């Protein structure tokens, strides 16, 4: 009896192991085609793209996607550096935020770099030999863009989503003199970055976060500030006084979300902070249903890409 029981146990363990392998293979079969299908920039009339490679501190090659108008600019133009979410790539991010349409309508350039292993090294504590120095990489990309292309050095802006939003905040702490304004969506503040954010050079900031975000919590977590406290951190750095002015935006789309704006405008630095709370919003990009239903509700009451551009374009460094 005991031998039969032991044989059953061994058989059960073998079946469980086999099931784990099959599940892993099924996940790869599901993920790989999706990623491959989405890793193509959706063409936009009047817009063209090209790529460049940079060698990161780890020695690995990293791609940078440039999105620009077909027509040659008159003089120098602003540039938006766009940092993709974890698990994404430059093409997926460009499609998600419809950066081609923004480039077409405004004449700016977009610079969309690739992270290492599809994730940014935004934690200041992770700066060992095997960890990519993404601050250095982004600085070299900016330097190259200003030196090689018709980019206005005083009008380089940085925006990021999720992991890219964490990285954009890291860059604004480490090299604020290189960007004129900061924008982040679905990202909060690491305690380690708050402790290491030594520069007092203020940066105009716009932030957006959904209260039903199940990837990056709107509320505080161990090692992470809440979305609201993150915005207050940037307001304090910019010398903004008092409580923010709160405004409820029109509920245009009736999509189960509403938007509230907290604005810090009385700032000694003249660099304001705007924080948009999407009540009921998920881990999504407002205004675009590219990820519809995958990570929660996407509000259509605001267009994050245009909202960010309309804010950051007012500032120079």
Digit-coded pLDDT (tens) for 184-238: 999 999 999 999 997 779 999 999 999 999 999 999 999 999 999 999 999 999 9
Residue 190 is part of a domain; what is its CATH number? 3.40.50.1820
What percent of the chain lies above the pLDDT cut of 70?
85
Domains contained in the chain, number: 1
**pTM, 2 dp:** 0.86
Measured CA to CA in angstroms, residue 264 lies from 123, 175, 237, 307 at distances of 27, 23, 12, 16
pLDDT at 126 over 90: no
- Rounded distance, CA 272 to CA 268, Å? 9
Write down the pLDDT at residue 1: 44
257 located within any domain? yes
Structural domain includes residue 263: yes
Top-confidence residue, 10 or 66: 66
Instruction: Establish if 317 belongs to a structural domain.
Output: no
Span 169-196, pLDDT tens digits: 999 999 999 999 999 999 999 999 999 9
Q: What is the DSSP letter of 116?
A: B
Is 202 domain-assigned?
A: yes
Mean pLDDT throughout 146-157?
Answer: 98
- Residue 7 maps to a domain: no
Q: Write out the residue range of the structural domain in which residue 302 sits.
A: 35-312
What mean pLDDT, rounded, does the chain reach?
88
Domain contains 9: no
User: Which are the contacts of 212, defined by CB distance < 8 A and separation ≥ 6?
Assistant: 218, 280, 281, 282, 296, 297
Torsion sign over Cα 47, 185, 300, 266: negative
Give domain status of residue 27, yes or no: no
């Amino acid at each position: 009896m005991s031998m039969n029981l032991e044989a059953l146990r061994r058989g059960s363990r073998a079946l469980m192991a086999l099931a784990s392998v099959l599940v892993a293979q099924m996940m790869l079969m599901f993920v790989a085609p999706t990623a491959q299908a989405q890793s193509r920039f959706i063409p936009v009339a009047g817009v063209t793209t090209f790529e460049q490679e940079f060698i990161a501190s780890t020695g690995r090659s990293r791609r940078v996607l440039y999105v620009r108008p077909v027509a040659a600019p008159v003089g120098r133009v602003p540039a938006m550096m766009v940092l993709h979410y974890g698990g994404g790539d430059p093409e997926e991010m460009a499609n998600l935020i419809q950066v081609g349409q923004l480039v077409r309508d405004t004449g700016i350039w977009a610079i969309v770099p690739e992270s290492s292993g599809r994730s940014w090294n935004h934690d200041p504590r992770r700066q060992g030999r095997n960890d990519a120095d993404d601050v250095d990489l982004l600085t070299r990309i900016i330097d190259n863009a200003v030196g090689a292309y018709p980019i206005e050095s005083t009008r380089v802006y940085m925006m990021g989503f999720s992991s890219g939003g964490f990285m954009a905040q890291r860059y604004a702490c480490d090299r604020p003199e290189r960007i004129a304004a900061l924008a982040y969506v679905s990202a909060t503040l690491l305690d380690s970055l708050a402790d290491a954010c030594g520069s007092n050079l203020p940066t105009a900031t716009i932030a957006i976060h959904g209260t039903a975000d199940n990837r990056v919590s709107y509320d505080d977590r161990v090692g992470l500030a809440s979305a609201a406290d993150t915005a207050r951190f940037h307001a304090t750095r910019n010398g903004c006084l008092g409580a923010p002015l709160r405004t409820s935006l029109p509920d245009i789309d009736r999509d189960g979300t509403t938007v509230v704006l907290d604005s810090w405008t009385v700032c000694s630095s003249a660099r304001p902070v705007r924080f948009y709370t999407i009540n009921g919003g998920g881990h999504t990009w407002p205004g675009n249903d590219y990820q519809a239903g995958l990570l929660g509700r996407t509000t259509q009451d605001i267009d994050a890409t245009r909202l960010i551009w309309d804010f950051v374009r007012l500032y120079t460094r």
